[in-house]
Amino acid sequence: MPEALIFDFDGLILDTEVPVYEAWRRDFLAYGHDLDLRTYSQCVGSTFGQFNPKHHLEFLVGNVIDWSHLDENRERDALESTHQLDPLPGIIPLLTEANEAEIPCIIASSSPRSWVESHLNRLGLMHHFAGTRCLDDVRNAKPAPDLFLAAAEFLAVNPSRSIVLEDSFNGLTASIAAGIPCVIVPNKITAHYEFNGAASVLPSLEGIGIDYFRELVRNSTPHS
């Protein structure tokens, strides 16, 4: 049995990444440039330390941009769009089953706690989780292992006998560095990655229960 399930948030529990990407793309199109998915996906699951759309657009147009108005509109549009979203398929049944089996669940997200917990409260999901570990809690976001290690430490569980659920390459890289088996559920933004090193790659969490993760932990644990 897994000692814990460690969930990413954006793109795994809630498909926030598509509306956020579309909001950024509108900024680029307003300046006569496009923002393709492969380029943007470099920052998915992390912060803009990996790829900064603002710096990229300023490079393309050849001058500094006044972002104040663009930021306000983009953030408003993204917030309005994400507030219409429901949890992705399979999330609620999996959380319910994990809770019934007394397997602790926790969020480990490179987003700020205010963003993550506002959505969890809106969706009525907060009670499923023992806690959250967010950008506010660590020095380094994904692809560094800090968030996943902080989550395992908070729960007092063995990282190697826990499971990370992720949608991004940055998240996979972080989980490998933390020594935690990772199940990847790609979305539209991250589907082009190969995700080498993942314990498994699933098209969806729909129909996936605790037995699936029990087998993953059993197969990933060295036998004496």
Q: pLDDT tens for residues 150-182?
A: 999 999 999 999 999 999 999 999 999 999 999
Higher pLDDT, 168 or 6: 6
Q: Which of 54, 82, 110 is the last residue of a domain?
A: 82
Question: What token pair was written down for 215?
Answer: 């087998």
Confirm whether 8 is a catalytic residue.
yes
- Please check whether residues 78 and 99 belong to one and the same domain: no
- Please check whether residues 40 and 126 belong to one and the same domain: no
- Please check whether residues 205 and 178 belong to one and the same domain: yes
Which helix (H) or strand (E) segment is 69 a member of? helix 68-82
Question: How many Cβ atoms sit within 10 Å of the Cβ of residue 145?
Answer: 21
Residue 30 has pLDDT above 70, yes or no: yes
- Please check whether residues 72 and 149 belong to one and the same domain: no
- Please check whether residues 103 and 162 belong to one and the same domain: yes
Question: How many Cβ atoms sit within 10 Å of the Cβ of residue 7?
Answer: 24
Whether the upstream peptide bond of residue 143 has omega within 30° of 0, thus cis, is yes
Q: How many angstroms separate the CA atoms of 78 and 195, rounded?
A: 27
Q: Which residue, among 6, 3, 11, 2, has the nearest Cα to 169 in the 3D structure?
A: 11
Q: How many angstroms separate the CA atoms of 84 and 100, rounded?
A: 28
Confirm whether 34 is a catalytic residue.
no
Q: Give the domain range for residue 161.
A: 5-15+87-220
pTM exceeds 0.95, yes or no: no
- Please check whether residues 96 and 193 belong to one and the same domain: yes
The CA distances from residue 196 to 39, 169, 176, 200, in Å, are: 19, 9, 10, 9
Name the H helices within the chain: 17-30, 37-40, 53-61, 68-82, 91-100, 113-123, 146-155, 169-178, 210-220
Q: Which of 55, 82, 109 is the last residue of a domain?
A: 82
- Please check whether residues 53 and 126 belong to one and the same domain: no
- Please check whether residues 134 and 147 belong to one and the same domain: yes
pLDDT at 46: 60
- Please check whether residues 47 and 97 belong to one and the same domain: no
Q: Which of 82, 99, 125 is the last residue of a domain?
A: 82
- Please check whether residues 126 and 207 belong to one and the same domain: yes
Q: How many angstroms separate the CA atoms of 137 and 30, rounded?
A: 35
Mind listing the pLDDT tens digit for each residue in 70-80? 999 998 888 88
Mind listing the pLDDT tens digit for each residue in 166-224? 999 999 999 999 999 999 999 988 888 889 999 999 999 999 999 999 999 988 765 43
DSSP 87: P
Total tally of structural domains belonging to the chain: 2
Question: What token pair was written down for 85?
Answer: 């979203």
- Please check whether residues 51 and 92 belong to one and the same domain: no
- Please check whether residues 157 and 57 belong to one and the same domain: no
Q: Output the domain CATH number for residue 215.
A: 3.40.50.1000
CB within 8 A of 216, min separation 6: which ones? Answer: 2, 163, 181, 183, 199, 200
